[in-house]
């Protein structure tokens, strides 16, 4: 049997096609794999299919992409939100990207890993419906852990910390980042690259000890940050990140109202209602944890340590932007509802939270080059200092 590691919700995913609130057929580039393009070129419908593809030369390789129409949607997307290619040619005609999304399949050493992308609203529903901590199922050889790499050991500990319910979610995120920075420092000293030395293994294992983690957490509690500082930083980051997306048709409905509302807020108007928002979000903490666990499992897989750290920074940035956007949405909605003298149930907050999880998974999660450039412009290097994360999460 081949070695397989799978997040438990993987086999529960079923595409809802035209009933989806956030189509995966718009808003981003859609890759057409070479095998599919060649199959299209040799088919009876070659002109219909290939005329909707553009090529892009990258170094010595040629990549194929859908010619997106105005609004950045696939030319095969119909007004009823169904795929005209599937309707006329059948699902077997789809490129690999369309067949697999939101499924994520990664081959790591001798193991194939299966996860799901949070850029799909159905996946968020599955994470919400999941009872308790997200689980993983392994099938294969019992000795798969032998010869474990540095990145593999790191990810296991990151997942352990994320699901450690003795710590607050804020402290879990901070502990993981402190772990990554500590390992980076030791790896630089030892010039180990992606090797898992005895020293590095000990450093990583120490972060599974509650006594050691509690000492680190106690130091952070003495850092003088307040809610105003955090909200101002989040708001500035939010406006920077959405700058290039708020006018795009596929994102406009989600971002335009928030952007206009935020632009008109004075700094001192940010904190009101925030404590009440934090209280409401406690009902969704397990969903947020599952959201983060899914992302760390799927994306923190790089052997190169700095790339792994940047993947984690992107995940934390998505998380912070989701919280901030949902907070602003709630304020906009409550202000409007107050004028109309109506009240809504908690399901509305979940729908807003789900939309923002999908939205920022797409805006940030698929833009590693852009985020790296943004961090280099902001901090002179792409890896943060722990103080910045403290500011974002305090």
Q: Decide if 293 is inside a domain.
A: yes
Domain boundary, last residue among 100, 125, 147? 100
Judge if 385 and 242 occupy the same domain.
yes
pTM of the model: 0.91
Q: Decide if 138 is inside a domain.
A: no
Q: Dmax over Cα atoms in the chain, in whole Å?
A: 69
Q: Decide if 58 is inside a domain.
A: yes
| Average pLDDT, integer, range 86-109 | 89
Give residue 189's pLDDT.
66
Nearest to residue 94, comparing CAs of 25, 16, 12, 47? 25
CB 273 within 8 A of CB 300: no
Q: Decide if 314 is inside a domain.
A: yes
Q: Decide if 2 is inside a domain.
A: no
Taking the C-alpha atoms of residue 7 and residue 251, their distance in angstroms, rounded to an integer, is 29
| Average pLDDT, integer, range 191-201 | 73
Nearest to residue 370, comparing CAs of 323, 317, 328, 294? 317
Higher pLDDT, 148 or 235: 235
**Structure tokens that stand for 228 in this block:** 């105003």
Q: Token match 């193991």: residue?
A: 111
Judge if 251 and 389 occupy the same domain.
yes
Q: Decide if 35 is inside a domain.
A: yes
**Structure tokens that stand for 115 in this block:** 């996860």
Q: Decide if 275 is inside a domain.
A: yes
The residue segments making up the domain with residue 314 are 227-393
Give residue 142's pLDDT.
65
Domain boundary, last residue among 77, 100, 123? 100
Domain count, the chain: 2
CB 364 within 8 A of CB 375: no
**Structure tokens that stand for 287 in this block:** 């969903």
Taking the C-alpha atoms of residue 301 and residue 298, their distance in angstroms, rounded to an integer, is 7
Domain boundary, last residue among 53, 78, 100? 100
Share of the chain above pLDDT 70, in %: 93
Taking the C-alpha atoms of residue 393 and residue 300, their distance in angstroms, rounded to an integer, is 20
The SS3 assignment for 84 reads helix
Q: Using one digit for the tens of pLDDT, what is the confidence trace for 259-289? A: 888 888 888 888 888 888 999 999 999 999 9
The SS3 assignment for 136 reads strand
**Of 157-171, 183-197, 259-273, 318-332, minimum mean pLDDT range:** 183-197
- Enter the DSSP assignment of 73: B
Q: Decide if 18 is inside a domain.
A: no
What are 77's strand-pairing partners? Answer: 83
Share of the chain above pLDDT 90, in %: 48
Average pLDDT, the chain: 88
Residue 157 has pLDDT above 90, yes or no: yes
């Amino acid at each position: 049997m081949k070695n397989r590691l799978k997040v438990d919700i993987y086999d529960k995913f079923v595409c809802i096609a035209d009933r989806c609130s956030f189509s995966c057929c718009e808003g981003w580039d859609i890759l057409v794999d070479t095998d599919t393009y060649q199959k299209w070129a040799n088919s009876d419908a070659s002109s219909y299919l290939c005329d909707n593809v553009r090529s892009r030369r990258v170094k010595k390789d040629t990549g194929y992409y859908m010619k997106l129409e105005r609004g950045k949607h696939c030319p095969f997307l119909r007004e009823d939100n169904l795929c005209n290619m599937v309707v006329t040619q059948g699902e077997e005609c789809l490129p690999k990207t369309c067949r697999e999304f939101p499924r994520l399949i990664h081959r790591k050493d001798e193991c194939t890993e299966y996860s799901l992308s949070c850029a799909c609203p159905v996946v968020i529903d599955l994470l919400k419906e999941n009872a308790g901590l997200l689980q993983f199922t392994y099938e294969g050889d019992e000795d798969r852990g032998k010869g474990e790499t540095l990145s593999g050991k790191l990810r296991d500990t990151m997942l352990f910390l994320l699901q450690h319910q003795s710590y607050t979610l804020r402290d879990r995120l901070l502990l993981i980042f402190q772990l990554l920075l500590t390992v980076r420092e030791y790896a630089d000293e030892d010039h180990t690259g992606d090797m898992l030395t005895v020293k590095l293994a000990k450093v990583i294992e120490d972060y599974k000890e509650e006594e050691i983690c509690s000492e680190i957490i106690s130091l952070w509690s003495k850092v003088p940050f307040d809610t105003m500082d955090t909200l101002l930083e989040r708001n500035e980051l939010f406006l920077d990140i959405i700058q290039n997306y708020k006018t795009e048709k596929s994102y406009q409905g989600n971002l335009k109202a928030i952007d206009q509302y935020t632009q008109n807020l004075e700094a001192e108007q940010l904190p009101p209602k925030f404590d009440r928002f934090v209280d409401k979000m406690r009902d969704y903490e397990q969903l947020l944890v599952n959201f983060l666990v899914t992302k760390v499992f799927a994306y923190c897989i790089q052997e190169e340590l700095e790339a792994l750290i940047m993947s984690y920074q992107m995940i934390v940035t998505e998380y912070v932007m989701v919280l901030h956007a949902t907070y602003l949405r709630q304020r906009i909605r409550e202000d409007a509802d107050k004028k109309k003298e109506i009240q809504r149930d908690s399901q509305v907050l979940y729908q807003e939270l789900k939309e923002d999880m999908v939205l920022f998974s797409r805006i940030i999660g698929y833009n590693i080059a852009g985020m790296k450039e943004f961090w280099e412009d902001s901090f002179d290097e792409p890896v943060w200092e722990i103080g910045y994360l403290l500011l974002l999460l305090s």
